[in-house]
Amino acid sequence: MMCRMKKISTKTLIIGAGPAGLAAAMELSKAGKDFMVIERQSRVGGLAKTYEFKEGDLIFRTDTGPHRFFSKNQYLYEFIEDILHEQWIQVKRQTRQFIGGKFYDYPVNAVQALRNIGPVRAIRILFDYGVAKIRYSVFKKPIRNFADYVYSRFGKSLGDFNMINYTEKIWGISSEEIHEDWASQRIKGLSITSLAKDMAMKVFGRANKNKPKSLVDTFYYPELGTGLIYESIKDRLESEGYIIMLNTEPRKVLHRNNRIRSVICTSPDGEIEIECEQVIESVPVKEFINLLEPKPPARIVELQKKLRYRSQAYLFITLNQESVTPDQWIYFPEKENPIGRLSEMRNFSHAMSPVGKTSLFLEFFCTEGDATWNMTADELFEEAITHLEACGFTDRSKVRTYYHIREKNVYPIYDLEYKDYLGTIKTYLDKFENLYYIGRPGRFRYNNQDHSLEMGMLAAKGIIDGVKYDIESVGSEKEYYESGNLKTKQTQS
Ligand SMILES: Cc1cc2nc3c(=O)[nH]c(=O)nc-3n(C[C@H](O)[C@H](O)[C@H](O)COP(=O)(O)OP(=O)(O)OC[C@H]3O[C@@H](n4cnc5c(N)ncnc54)[C@H](O)[C@@H]3O)c2cc1C
């Protein structure tokens, strides 16, 4: 006997319960609209989820790496305040780089940097900066890639020292193959001049309101980790009767006449067909293309193969040690050190670790299927602890245990041609009248939480107003600073 597939229907189907999808859900719920959410993982929050590990009576928590919240949009602060009700703290940012066995403050502290690098290297940096000014300002050398962007603002020696190496570690390709868009999103507004101005303002005790986003020195953080925002949204929506189906993912997205008609999903209850009038999705764009039925034109299927993502392997180490560093996170730009970045979660919020204990979250940049990606937990731990011991951070006698996590599709790779491929793919997707593709994976965009939240909100607003707003416009504004005010219960220094 043939088994009939279960069919259900909803007005708006949201695929993906990360910040973007859940922001859309919240806004639709506030307007009393009908929708349901499907999420392939067993937890909500996407890359901004918080893990909880129980060791006997002790609870250790960690985000997927450091997640400070920042935005220039006051509405986002109010949106989150409405969900968290003052379960935020304001944290004084401390970040450093560890290079050649020495710490360097970030943003750069010139006196400390000079002491660490010595006069010969300092002269070399100044000389190279002068050369860069002549090359890029006088002879107008064009900015063709990330390397050009950095060298034109910092000169070669300083650029290589603290930006080029780390960037190449993230992407696994040369900085000459990286699009300058990455610099605009990562270090926009930053230059030797802006660093000097910020330092001068500090010396004279004045606040630099227009400092670039990379220089802002306090941020907000939910007491129990960034995932608290998204778990709280899930609880709120479920209490209002909305359905969030976990462990559920689309197998086929059926369309006709430029409209998505239904989505066939695999779920813990078997296959379901969900009929819908609108779709909001944050599925990695190349994956979404392959779900469409009928298939997109061959040219689009071929182009999506050229979009590449970088993945990450993580190691979360719990320690019988009260504290390792005063920093929230430390960068390791040197390629000889396999660790990309280390975060000490208790320095975001003391509630992330039990009293008298701490933890380290280590990030390793990799490509799905490469040697680092394939390492077992034990192999990764051996590699990590060897370097942590050599750098003097901790030693294996203090380690309680460790947890191995991997995430695919973490960083969209902005190579030199990505914009052309992506533009053609987006033009194709834009033909679907009832499709909103949003978020970091959906738009192949290096979003932080703020821009993913805004994309979700704009998609929901489009559905509420019956107007298709331009999702691409989110985050493209010239002004790009961290700001906003929140009621916080306490401040953690
Ligand atoms: C190490 C690290 C550090 C970061 N630091 C910060 C920071 O300091 N501040 C900050 O604001 N942001 C930070 N971010 C970025 C932040 O995590 C992202 O901006 C945010 O999570 C993006 O939200 P999103 O909803 O767009 O995408 P995602 O978080 O990727 O969520 C997408 C969701 O869709 C689901 N999904 C995908 N495909 C399917 C499918 N086929 N079917 C069903 N579900 C699917 C996924 O499982 C996921 O839950 C950091 C990210 C990383 C990795």
Q: Ligand 1: which residue has its CA nearest to atom 12?
A: 448
Q: Ligand 1: which residue has its CA nearest to atom 8?
A: 67
Fold of 6-42+246-307+414-473: FAD/NAD(P)-binding domain (3.50.50)
Looking at ligand 1, which atom is closest to the CA of residue 20?
25
184 contacts 208 by C-beta, under 8 angstroms: no
State the DSSP H helix or E strand holding residue 309, giving kind and residue range, or none if neither: strand 309-319
Task: Say how many Å lie between the CA of residue 29 and the centre of ligand 1.
Answer: 21
Alpha-carbon Rg for the chain, nearest whole angstrom, is 23
Looking at ligand 1, which atom is closest to the CA of residue 448?
19
* Beta pairing partners, 274: 8, 263
State the DSSP H helix or E strand holding residue 290, giving kind and residue range, or none if neither: helix 285-291
DSSP 26-72: HHHHHTT--EEEE-SSSSSSGGG-EEEEEETTEEEEEESS---B-BS
Q: Ligand 1: which residue has its CA nearest to atom 49?
A: 46
Q: Which residue has the tokens 């999808």?
A: 21
Inter-CA distances, 291 with 75, 172, 295, Å: 34, 28, 8
Q: Is-above-0.85 flag for pTM?
A: yes
Looking at ligand 1, which atom is closest to the CA of residue 41?
47
What was the pLDDT predicted at 482? 39
| Spatial CB neighbours of 121, under 8 Å, sequence gap ≥ 6 | 157
Q: Ligand 1: which residue has its CA nearest to atom 28?
A: 46
Task: Say how many Å lie between the CA of residue 17 and the centre of ligand 1.
Answer: 9
Give domain limits for the chain: 6-42+246-307+414-473, 51-105+309-412, 108-216
Chunked in runs of 10, what are the mean pLDDT values of the chain (493 residues)? 81 98 98 98 97 98 92 91 90 92 80 79 88 91 91 87 87 91 69 63 57 66 96 98 98 98 97 98 97 97 95 98 96 94 97 98 97 98 96 96 96 93 97 98 95 97 94 70 46 59
| Spatial CB neighbours of 320, under 8 Å, sequence gap ≥ 6 | 357, 398, 399, 400
Task: Say how many Å lie between the CA of residue 46 and the centre of ligand 1.
Answer: 4
Domain range 51-105+309-412, CATH class? alpha beta
Looking at ligand 1, which atom is closest to the CA of residue 451?
19
Task: Say how many Å lie between the CA of residue 16 and the centre of ligand 1.
Answer: 9
Task: Say how many Å lie between the CA of residue 70 and the centre of ligand 1.
Answer: 15
| Spatial CB neighbours of 299, under 8 Å, sequence gap ≥ 6 | 424
Task: Say how many Å lie between the CA of residue 452 and the centre of ligand 1.
Answer: 8
What was the pLDDT predicted at 216? 63
Task: Say how many Å lie between the CA of residue 38 and the centre of ligand 1.
Answer: 15
Which tokens belong to 270? Answer: 């078997």
Q: For residues 373 and 367, what is the distance between their CA atoms, to the nearest angstrom?
A: 7
What was the pLDDT predicted at 185? 65
What was the pLDDT predicted at 317? 98
Q: For residues 208 and 466, what is the distance between their CA atoms, to the nearest angstrom?
A: 41
Q: For residues 98 and 489, what is the distance between their CA atoms, to the nearest angstrom?
A: 33
* Beta pairing partners, 279: 13, 435
Inter-CA distances, 37 with 18, 27, 29, 269, Å: 10, 13, 12, 15
Task: Say how many Å lie between the CA of residue 20 and the centre of ligand 1.
Answer: 8
Residues with CB under 6 A from ligand 1: 15-21, 38-41, 46-48, 64-69, 249-250, 282-283, 287, 363, 410, 439-441, 447-450, 452
What was the pLDDT predicted at 181? 83
Q: Ligand 1: which residue has its CA nearest to atom 15?
A: 448
Tell me, what amino acid is at 397?
Answer: S
**Which residue among 26, 68, 264, 449 has the greatest number of ligand 1 atoms within 8 angstroms of its CB, and so is best to mutate?**
449
